[in-house]
Amino acid sequence: MVKPLKYLGRGLMLGSLTLITGSVFGVAAYAVAHKFIPPDDPFWVDARCALGIPMQSDTKCVQEEQARLTREIDAVTRKSREIETALGAQLDAAKKAKDDAERAAAGQDMVFVSGGAHNGKTLVVGVLYRDAAKRTGLLRAYCWAIRDEGGLDPRVALARQEADGRIVVLPPDPMQMADFQWTETDLVQARALCPWTQ
């Protein structure tokens, strides 16, 4: 127990001596520099600015710091405006796509295309176009497997195609799957047969 205390005491003493010695050398260096460099020399302003301890009278240093802070604030503001503009454009595009899809659906502009069959069920794709008559401007397409019953046909949603061509797999409804007596394998095989159109 004595040895750790002994080393701790020596460490504290050495640290104190180093601090005192450094302070003495700093004061001596300052006194010598002050003797050769007049107090009103710009060197002192620059030195205080460099050390981060400007005086109230060091207007140049304060102005430089203010200018630096202003540049940083301007850069952040500019970046913020760029992000805001980009997000605004994305939101406008998403809103337009949503509005187009709603108009197409409300106007019953969904174009249906029948495909093959799987396990006794017909595969159908319903496509929403911006212009249904010309079949241009694909907004979204849905693929279902249906059982034709001459009315509200039971169906299982399989997948969705986005305007950019991506295919999004839709989660199966367990009740519809049970009604169709389909397994997960049936679902995967049916999805592969969806008659997608562009």
Give mean pLDDT, residues 14-28. 73
- Domain final residue pick, 46, 66, 86: 66
Q: Which one has a higher pLDDT value, 82 or 97?
A: 82
Task: Give the integer Cα–Cα distance in Å for 198 and 182.
Answer: 28
What is the DSSP-derived secondary structure letter of residue 4? H
**Within-domain flag for 122:** yes
Whole-number average pLDDT of the chain = 75
Q: Provide the pLDDT confidence category of residue 198 given band limits of 50, 70 and 90.
A: very low
> Comparing C-alpha atoms, which of 132, 175, 130, 134 is closest to residue 156?
175
Q: How much is the pLDDT for 51?
A: 59
Answer positive or negative: Cα dihedral of 89, 92, 94, 100: negative
57 and 121 belong to one structural domain? no
Q: Which one has a higher pLDDT value, 133 or 152?
A: 133
Q: Which one has a higher pLDDT value, 93 or 102?
A: 93
Please state the φ and ψ torsions of residue 190, each to the nearest 5 degrees: -65, -40
First to last CA, the chain: 84
49 and 122 belong to one structural domain? no
Number of domains in the chain: 2
User: What one-character-per-residue DSSP string does 80-114 give?
Assistant: HHHHHHHHHHHHHHHHHHHHHHHHHHHTT-EEEEE
Please work out, in degrees rounded to the nearest 5, the angle formed at the alpha carbon of residue 187 by the alpha carbons of 183 and 189. Answer: 115
Q: How much is the pLDDT for 173?
A: 81
Asked whether residue 176 carries a pLDDT value surpassing 50, the answer given is yes
**Within-domain flag for 88:** no
Q: Which domain holds residue 38?
A: 2-66
Q: Which one has a higher pLDDT value, 34 or 15?
A: 15
Q: Provide the pLDDT confidence category of residue 194 given band limits of 50, 70 and 90.
A: confident
Asked whether residue 150 carries a pLDDT value surpassing 80, the answer given is no
Q: How much is the pLDDT for 125?
A: 83
Asked whether residue 55 carries a pLDDT value surpassing 80, the answer given is no
**Within-domain flag for 197:** no
Question: CB within 8 A of 110, min separation 6: which ones?
Answer: 104, 126, 127, 128, 132
**Within-domain flag for 74:** no
Question: What is the maximum span of the chain, computed from C-alpha positions, in angstroms?
Answer: 107
Question: Between β-strands 155-162 and 167-169, what pairing exists: parallel, antiparallel or unpaired?
Answer: antiparallel
pTM of the model: 0.43
Q: Provide the pLDDT confidence category of residue 88 given band limits of 50, 70 and 90.
A: confident
Asked whether residue 46 carries a pLDDT value surpassing 80, the answer given is no
**Within-domain flag for 100:** no
Give mean pLDDT, residues 162-186. 85
Q: Provide the pLDDT confidence category of residue 28 given band limits of 50, 70 and 90.
A: low
> Comparing C-alpha atoms, which of 144, 132, 133, 196 is closest to residue 166?
196
Question: Between β-strands 121-131 and 110-118, what pairing exists: parallel, antiparallel or unpaired?
Answer: antiparallel
